[in-house]
Every structure is written in C-alpha cells, then in structure tokens.
Amino acid sequence: MTPALLESFPAFNPEVRLQPPPLERWRRGTGTDVEFVHVLDSGRPGPVAMVVALVHGNELCGAIALDRLLARSLRPLRGRLVLAFANVEACGRFNPLAPFASRCVDEDMNRLWDEAVLRGPRDSVELRRARELVPFVDAADVLLDLHSMQEPGAPALTICGMTDKSVPLARALGQPETLLVDTGHAAGLRMIDRGGFADPTSPRQAVLVECGAHWEPASAAMATDVTLRLLRHLEMVDDAWVEASPRLPTPARQRLVRVGEGVTAASPDFRFLLPTHHLKVIPAAGTPLAEDGARRWVTPHGDCVLIMPSRRAGVAGQTMVRLGRYEA
Ligand SMILES: [Zn+2]
C-alpha cells in the first residue's frame, strides 16, 4: 500500500477472504433493459419479491448469494422475483489492498431513497443507479437488502426498519439471531424505509440483513441462507430446492433490539472511552462511553447494547455507534 492509501484507511487490516463474483455475465438483464437486474417471472399469481445486493459496492456477500442463485437458473414457483446488483460500478473498483474504497463512487447509495432526493436535480453515480432501480423497489411487496459490516467476526443481524411491521417477516425467516428496530439515518432515507415499507398501514415489508463481516466467508454463507429462507417463506421454491444448497443452522431464538439514540462525531477528535464491539452490552447506566472535545457521552440506560461501533476516525456528522436495548 502506498503511504497515501495507508493514511486514508483504518489502522486495522482485515483479511480480505472474499472476492467479487464474476458479475459481468449478469450485465444483461432478464425481463428488463436495466443492466444487472433479473426479473424472474413464474407466470403465476404470487408476491413480487426483490433481493438486492451491492447497495454498498464493497459488501460482497449479497453479490455472491445472487450469483449462486442465478447460476442455478432459479425459476420461482409463483409470483415474480427480482434480483438486483445495485452499485456494480463501485464493486468494479474493488481492490483487496484498499477494500473500503469501493463502498461507493460518489456517495452512500443507502441514503438516497427519499422522493425529493431521487427526483431532485442532484447527480451522482449512485443517484443515477438508484433512479434506474426505484421502479423495481416500488413494485416489490417484499424486499430483502443484503449488506455486511466492518467488524471482524461480527454476528449477523436484521434491520427491520423504523416500525415493527417487518419484524414478523424477520421472525418468519428464522435467521439471523438478532433483530433491530431502529430510527433510520438523519443523513437520508434507506431503501428499506422508502414509501410503503415504512407505512404501518401498508402490507409491504422490507428487511436489511447485515450478514456478518465484510470479506469473511461466513457472511456469504449467511446471505445465501437468508435469501433461500425468504424464497421458501414466499413459496417461490420448494424444500428440495432449498435442501440442495449449503445451509446454516437455525438459531435457538431471535432477540429484538430496540435502537434509540445514535452517537454522532463532531470532529476527528472523537474517541471511545472503553473497548467496543458490535452487540456489546454495557450493564450500568451512566458508564462513560465516548468523548469528542468537550462533549462526553455516557450510557443512557442499563444493559445498553452497542450497535455497529465505527472503527474509523470521526468525521463531523458521522454516526459512530447506535445504542439500544434488548426487548424482554
Ligand atoms: Zn452496507
């Protein structure tokens, strides 16, 4: 790595053990002119389901899962299944020596899904792609958005959105173990929070699964398993089809974490005051958690759960960790 690259990436050096699958073969869409989108229509009544990979270009697990499905020439038994590789342009720049650099080209694709942003005058690589994908997103009854996380060894979790309405879907999948209901992101709307997905009166459901750590084979196994579970749940494939794939054991139970406030950096001086890891539980309320100049954060309640603490240097306005609690 050149000195310039060393400066722009965190000091920890995760082993990159996944590679992007050969996506070029999926460039030409199925049932659509939009590249890297495959609409698999059973020709029979049923739900419209969409599974999305690569909203973040360096989160390879979902792309590996969709590549496997497409390579098996999946044909749903009912309804319509849309498989989409989102930020292929960013993924095309994936470099194992600088694996964080290909998260996006211009901006975070998972903060663009508000109508005012999508229909607004701004332009970026991610906005252009989001504008191509949004008709598919808006037509989906059920959405599964596959992601992964920074922290090595991070256990997978499902973000059910800002309401409880998609929790039953996450529970029906039975995987992964931890479910989150959160408050979204101030920086912009996620795909799972768009339109009917966030409307408690709409039957549409969306979940985002953080399948594990970026670039660890376990995250690709989780992405594949969760996708198969969704297809089985929707009766788009049968048991024999599912059993023909490598599977993960079902966790004994799923636990829901209700996420409250986020801790947002004000400057590069931001630092945690204790060792952090994803899903760490801090027993006592009032435990010093982080500081940034004169600002100090303590845990707001007992049994405080840390959600995806950032390992990167603070940038003003960046969420460094979110705080939650397990629901009884
Ligand atoms: Zn992501």
CATH value at residue 160: 3.40.630.10
In angstroms, what is the span from residue 240 Cα to ligand 1's centroid? 31
pLDDT at residue 4 in the model: 45
In angstroms, what is the span from residue 55 Cα to ligand 1's centroid? 6
- Tokens read off for 279: 């899903």
Whether residues 156 and 184 fall in one domain: yes
pLDDT at residue 7 in the model: 45
Confirm whether 236 is domain-assigned. yes
In angstroms, what is the span from residue 254 Cα to ligand 1's centroid? 22
155 within 8 A of 278, measured Cβ to Cβ: yes
Confirm whether 63 is domain-assigned. yes
Q: Which helix (H) or strand (E) holds 239?
A: helix 239-243
Confirm whether 39 is domain-assigned. yes
In angstroms, what is the span from residue 213 Cα to ligand 1's centroid? 10
Whether residues 187 and 46 fall in one domain: yes
Confirm whether 82 is domain-assigned. yes
In angstroms, what is the span from residue 308 Cα to ligand 1's centroid? 11
Whether residues 204 and 294 fall in one domain: no
Task: Identify the domain boundary among 199, 216, 243.
Answer: 243
Domain residue limits at 151: 3-243
Whole-number Å distance between alpha carbons of 9 and 236: 42
In angstroms, what is the span from residue 150 Cα to ligand 1's centroid? 9
Task: Identify the domain boundary among 212, 243, 274.
Answer: 243
Confirm whether 110 is domain-assigned. yes
CA distances for 3 relative to 7, 86, 99, 162, 216, angstroms: 6, 31, 16, 41, 26
Whether residues 220 and 143 fall in one domain: yes
85-96, pLDDT tens digit by residue?
A: 999 999 999 998
In angstroms, what is the span from residue 127 Cα to ligand 1's centroid? 16
Whether residues 309 and 221 fall in one domain: no
In angstroms, what is the span from residue 53 Cα to ligand 1's centroid? 9
Whether residues 153 and 279 fall in one domain: no
Whether residues 81 and 173 fall in one domain: yes
Confirm whether 250 is domain-assigned. no
Total domains in the chain come to: 2
138-179, pLDDT tens digit by residue?
A: 999 999 999 999 888 889 999 999 999 999 999 999 999 999
53 within 8 A of 148, measured Cβ to Cβ: no
Whether residues 228 and 315 fall in one domain: no
16 within 8 A of 99, measured Cβ to Cβ: yes
Residues 6+ apart with CB under 8 A from 50: 81, 82, 83, 84, 136, 137, 139, 140, 142, 143, 144
In angstroms, what is the span from residue 130 Cα to ligand 1's centroid? 15
Confirm whether 211 is domain-assigned. yes
Whole-number Å distance between alpha carbons of 257 and 178: 7
In angstroms, what is the span from residue 60 Cα to ligand 1's centroid? 10
Whether residues 102 and 214 fall in one domain: yes
In angstroms, what is the span from residue 208 Cα to ligand 1's centroid? 9
Whether residues 239 and 260 fall in one domain: no
pLDDT at residue 14 in the model: 57
In angstroms, what is the span from residue 209 Cα to ligand 1's centroid? 9
pLDDT at residue 1 in the model: 41
pLDDT at residue 3 in the model: 44
pLDDT at residue 232 in the model: 97
In angstroms, what is the span from residue 58 Cα to ligand 1's centroid? 8
Whether residues 194 and 292 fall in one domain: no
In angstroms, what is the span from residue 37 Cα to ligand 1's centroid? 19
Residues of the chain with pLDDT under 50: 1-11, 13
Task: Identify the domain boundary among 188, 218, 243.
Answer: 243
Confirm whether 249 is domain-assigned. no
CATH code of 278's domain: 2.40.50
Whether residues 283 and 162 fall in one domain: no
